[in-house]
Structure 1
Amino acid sequence: MRFLDQMALFAPLDALAVALTFLAWAGLGWLIESDRLSRPSVTILMQEYRRDWMREMITRQPRIFDASILSSLRQGTNFLASASMIALGGLLALIGNSERLLGVAEDLTLGGQPTLVVEIKLMATGIFLLYAFLKFVWSNRLFGYCAVLMAAVPNDPDDPRALPRAIQAAEVNIRAALNFNRGLRSLYFSLGSLTWLLGPLPLILGALAVSWMIWSRDFASHSRLILLTSPSKG
Structure 2
Amino acid sequence: MKIPLQDILVVVWFVLSWGGYMYYADHVHLRGRTLMATMRGHREMWMRRMLARENRVVDSTILSSIMRSVTLFASTTIFILAGLVTMLGSLDKAQAVVTTLPFAIETTHALWELKLLTMLVVFVFAFFKFAWSIRQFNYTIVLVGAAPPPSQCDTPQALRYAKGAAKVITMAVYNFNSGLRAYYFGLAILSWFINPLLFAVAVIWVVAVLYRREFRSKTLMALSEALGEDEG
Q: TM-score, normalised by structure 2?
A: 0.89
Partner in structure 2 of residue 41 of structure 1: 34
Farther-moved stretch of structure 1 (56-65 vs 210-219): 56-65
**Distance in 1, Cα, partners of 2:111 & 2:28:** 40
Partner in structure 2 of residue 125 of structure 1: 119
Partner in structure 1 of residue 172 of structure 2: 176
**Distance in 2, Cα, partners of 1:106 & 1:231:** 52
Residues 159-213 of structure 1, C-alpha deviations (whole Å, 9 max, x = no match): 6553333222111111100000000000010000111111220110110111111
Ranges in structure 2 where 5+ consecutive residues have no aligned partner: none
- Percent identity for Structure 1 against Structure 2: 31
Partner in structure 2 of residue 221 of structure 1: 217
Farther-moved stretch of structure 1 (22-31 vs 205-214): 22-31
What is the root-mean-square deviation in Å for CA atoms of aligned residues?
A: 2.1
Residue 17 (str. 1) matches residue 10 (str. 2): yes
Residue 65 (str. 1) matches residue 55 (str. 2): no
**Distance in 2, Cα, partners of 1:52 & 1:176:** 17
**Distance in 1, Cα, partners of 2:49 & 2:191:** 46
Residue correspondence of structure 1 range 82-93 to structure 2 within 5 A: 82-93=75-86
| SS across alignment from 2:107 | coil
CA contact under 8 A between 2:81 and 2:120: conserved in structure 1? yes
Farther-moved stretch of structure 1 (105-114 vs 73-82): 105-114
Residue 143 (str. 1) matches residue 142 (str. 2): no
**Distance in 2, Cα, partners of 1:47 & 1:131:** 24
| SS across alignment from 2:152 | coil
Residue correspondence of structure 1 range 68-83 to structure 2 within 5 A: 68-83=61-76
1:229, distance to aligned residue in structure 2 (A): 1.6
Farther-moved stretch of structure 1 (99-108 vs 26-35): 99-108
* Change over 3 Å in CA distance of 1:149–1:120 after alignment to 2: same
CA contact under 8 A between 2:137 and 2:169: conserved in structure 1? yes
Aligned residues: 225
Residue 51 (str. 1) matches residue 44 (str. 2): yes
| SS across alignment from 1:229 | helix
AA of the residue aligned to 1:25:
W
Residues 3-59 of structure 1, C-alpha deviations (whole Å, 9 max, x = no match): x3xx2xx32222221111111111211222237556332112111111111111000
CA contact under 8 A between 2:112 and 2:193: conserved in structure 1? yes
Residues 48-98 of structure 1, C-alpha deviations (whole Å, 9 max, x = no match): 111111111000221122111101110011000011110111011101224
CA contact under 8 A between 2:105 and 2:195: conserved in structure 1? no
| SS across alignment from 1:34 | helix
**Distance in 1, Cα, partners of 2:120 & 2:151:** 48
Q: TM-score, normalised by structure 1?
A: 0.88
